[in-house]
Structure 1
Amino acid sequence: MDFPSLLIPALCGALASPLGGALALWKRPTTLGLSIAVGFAAGALLGAFAFEMLPKAVQAASLPIAVGGFMVGFAFVYALDLFVHRGASAGEKASQYRHVLSVRRRRHARGDEVTVLAGGTSAEELIEGLTIGVAAATDPSLGLIVGTAIVIDNISESMSIGDLIREKGGDHRVRRIMGWTSLIGVALFVSAMAGFFLLRGLSPVALGCLLAAGAGAMFYLTITELVPEAESHQYQQSSAIAMGLGLLVIFTLSNLS
């Protein structure tokens, strides 16, 4: 277990969040820029799951345990998603969409759109930080690759949060953008440290299960949030191109490590 394999990706991931917020403050990202940034992040994360996290989970534990861990992580974040959205969620073109809107109108919101997005992202960072910690405890090279994917993800997510806050307008935009993105970075760093120091003594089977659970949780977030966000801003399928490039970058790093 190599501590720099934890510290470097955890620190870079934590700093990436306020960096993304600062970029959004410096110059509001274009829709094309967002589609490329978010699409590239989605592809990088998908590559990390497919080429590193799940294969290493199977190697450390077994195929059934890795599959079970993935399902648990996926189900946990799915439950968190339903909690944030008051138990009702549907796509805009779903026949159930009107019902979902009526349910949401009858129930008090858990905050404005910015609070829900930034607060939910902070909770996601706890999962991603723990995943970095478990990955570094499992294999130093795995911690670096997973951390690289999360750094890319954090920059794009913070740019999206900054863009949303600027769009909403109001006072204290700088404070809100830097405050939320800094909180996201702190959540990642603290949970990464906790994941490494508290869980590194576990057996390889337990670490493999936790690694698969992290993959399941992050897969859900990638498919439900990053991919739709990237596609909604695409021009000439810019998001798909960026997603493919992101996946190839992680595939290359995986084969070089």
Structure 2
Amino acid sequence: MGNQLVLVLATAAGAALASLLGGIIATLLNPTTLLLSIFVGYAGGILMGTFAFEMMPKALEQSSLFIATAGFALGFALVYALDLYVNRGAMAGAEASQKKWVKGYHKHRTPRGGKITVLAGATSVEEVIEGLTIGVGSVIDPMVALITGLAIAIDNIAEALSIGELQREQDKEHYTWPIIKWTGLIGISVFGSALAGWFLFRDLPENVLGFLLATGAGGMFYLTVTDLVPEAEEHHYQESAAISVAAGFLTIFVLSEMV
């Protein structure tokens, strides 16, 4: 029990500090589009590999195909519902035929906050799911917690750089404190929820732990395919995004086979 708690504390602290580190980097540097493409793409690939090689296989070991599938679907649905909530139930891609209608709709029913508030606030809530995943993963298998924590840490740096870019666009002079504030909030969210996940769920039956791990995977999957990968591709040069996604995916594949 003592070793598990130390693992959760260390992993959660690393993920939390990564968010703040990303925020500090974003205040000191103005990342180029190529750097954003590479780093955000790598984070997306890392998360994809974590779902595929660690989280879902362990969830299946702990429960059953039906339970793991249901958990993944629930996690995906929860974060999708959050996205709909902050966007007042209307979303469309930049090239979608429905984009014009959505823009008109948002003139009358504006999203719950500006671009930065929506991104940072939604990310903070998503960090709760990711933090719980660290806590649950540490109970199932320490390596799941470590690899998941690594993936979340890299993701947090990428999210912090994205928040920094948006904040700089909004206010080219007074951006330091808002960036630190938002990235600090994200760090607190993941750290607190990781501890909550360990203290609240460590004595649950294996099939419930498997369900919760799959739920975390589903929520993180939604974030990856709707946020990280599209943003990386938006900034790519010579398909730097695709190369970085593949590199991140292979990183977790190699780690999962080595440990």
Give the TM-score normalised by structure 1. 0.97
CA-to-aligned-CA distance 1:9-29 (integer Å, 9 cap, x gap)? 211000001100111111110
CA-to-aligned-CA distance 1:55-76 (integer Å, 9 cap, x gap)? 0000000111101111111111
Residues in 1 aligned to 2:186 and 2:88: alpha-carbon distance in whole angstroms: 23
How many residues are paired up? 257
Residues in 1 aligned to 2:42 and 2:77: alpha-carbon distance in whole angstroms: 25
2:87 touches 2:110 (CA, 8 Å); kept in 1? no
Correspondence for 2:119: 117
1:5 touches 1:141 (CA, 8 Å); kept in 2? no
Aligned partner of residue 38 in structure 1, secondary structure: helix
Aligned partner of residue 31 in structure 2, secondary structure: coil
Correspondence for 1:57: 59
CA-to-aligned-CA distance 1:221-251 (integer Å, 9 cap, x gap)? 1000000000000000001111111111111
Correspondence for 1:216: 218
Residues in 2 aligned to 1:136 and 1:95: alpha-carbon distance in whole angstroms: 45
1:39 touches 1:230 (CA, 8 Å); kept in 2? yes
Residues in 2 aligned to 1:12 and 1:201: alpha-carbon distance in whole angstroms: 25
Amino acid at match of 1:29: P
Q: How does 1:49-128 map to 2 (within 5 A)?
A: 49-128=51-130
Q: How does 1:134-213 map to 2 (within 5 A)?
A: 134-169=136-171, 172-213=174-215
1:240 aligned residue (224, 239, 242):
242
Correspondence for 1:37: 39
Residues in 2 aligned to 1:72 and 1:109: alpha-carbon distance in whole angstroms: 24
Residues in 2 aligned to 1:21 and 1:75: alpha-carbon distance in whole angstroms: 29
Structure 2 gaps of 5+ residues are none
Residues in 1 aligned to 2:168 and 2:91: alpha-carbon distance in whole angstroms: 26
Aligned partner of residue 202 in structure 1, secondary structure: coil
Residues in 1 aligned to 2:141 and 2:204: alpha-carbon distance in whole angstroms: 13
Residues in 1 aligned to 2:39 and 2:173: alpha-carbon distance in whole angstroms: 27
Residues in 2 aligned to 1:108 and 1:157: alpha-carbon distance in whole angstroms: 23
Residues in 2 aligned to 1:9 and 1:34: alpha-carbon distance in whole angstroms: 25
Correspondence for 2:254: 252
Alignment pair present for 1:16 and 2:21? no
Amino acid at match of 1:225: D
Aligned partner of residue 201 in structure 1, secondary structure: coil
Amino acid at match of 1:113: K
Task: Give 1:108 shift.
Answer: 3.1
2:136 touches 2:209 (CA, 8 Å); kept in 1? yes
Aligned partner of residue 3 in structure 1, secondary structure: helix
Q: CA RMSD in A?
A: 1.1
1:44 touches 1:149 (CA, 8 Å); kept in 2? yes
CA-to-aligned-CA distance 1:149-187 (integer Å, 9 cap, x gap)? 111100111011011111111553111111111111001
1:54 touches 1:215 (CA, 8 Å); kept in 2? yes
Aligned partner of residue 110 in structure 1, secondary structure: coil
Structure 1 gaps of 5+ residues are none
